[in-house]
Chains A and B, each alone.
Chain A
Amino acid sequence: MDERRSDLKKIIMDTKTLPTLPGVINKLNSLSNDDKSSVQEMARIVSADQVLSARILRLANSPSYGFYRVSTISNAMILLGVNVVKSLALSSSIFEIMEKNSVGLWEHSLGTATAAGIIARKLALPEVEEITTAGLLHDIGKVIIGLKCAEQMPEIRSRIKLDELYISDAERAVLDTDHAEVGGWLSKSWFLPDKLSEPIAYHHNVAGSEDHRIKTSVVHLADVLIKASGFGDSGDSYVPPIQQLAWDLLKLDESLLQEIVVELEDKLVEVKNFSLELASAAVA
Chain B
Amino acid sequence: MQKIPLNLAAAEMVLARDIFKNDSPTGMPICGKGTELSDSLISRLQQMGVQSLYVEGHPVWQEGDRGLTEQLADLEKRFSKTMDNRYNTTLLEVYRTHFTAAMGDDGGRTEE
Interface residues of A (CB under 8 A from B): 63, 68, 164, 166, 224-225, 227-230, 237-242, 244, 247, 252, 254, 257-258, 261-262, 265-266, 269-270, 272-273, 276-277
Contact = CB atoms under 8 A, between A and B. Distances in A.
Given A225-B91, A258-B94, A261-B94, 17 more contacts: A224-B91, A238-B82, A239-B78, A239-B79, A239-B81, A241-B85, A242-B85, A242-B87, A242-B88, A254-B90, A257-B91, A258-B97, A261-B95, A262-B98, A265-B98, A269-B4, A270-B52
Contact of B102 (A237, A247, A265): A265
Nearest to A227: B78
Contact of B78 (A238, A261, A276): A238
Most buried by B among A63, A68, A225, A239: A239
A269 B5 contact: yes
Interface string B23-56: 1000000000000000000000000000110000
B58 to A, nearest CB: 13
B88 A276 contact: no
B102 A228 contact: no
Contact of A239 (B3, B22, B88): B88
B91 A272 contact: no
A239 B78 CA distance: 6
Contacts, number: 78
B61 to A, nearest CB: 15
A265 B87 CA distance: 19
A237 B78 contact: yes
A241 B74 CA distance: 17
22 contacts: A224-B88, A224-B91, A228-B91, A230-B78, A237-B77, A238-B80, A238-B81, A239-B88, A241-B81, A242-B82, A242-B85, A242-B88, A244-B87, A257-B91, A257-B94, A258-B97, A261-B95, A261-B98, A269-B4, A270-B52, A273-B51, A277-B7
A270 B51 contact: yes
Contacts of A252: 87
B108 to A, nearest CB: 16
Contacts of B91: 224-225, 228, 239, 242, 257, 261
B92 interface: yes
A101 B18 CA distance: 38
A266 B3 contact: yes
A273 B60 CA distance: 14
A269 to B, nearest CB: 5
A230 B5 contact: no
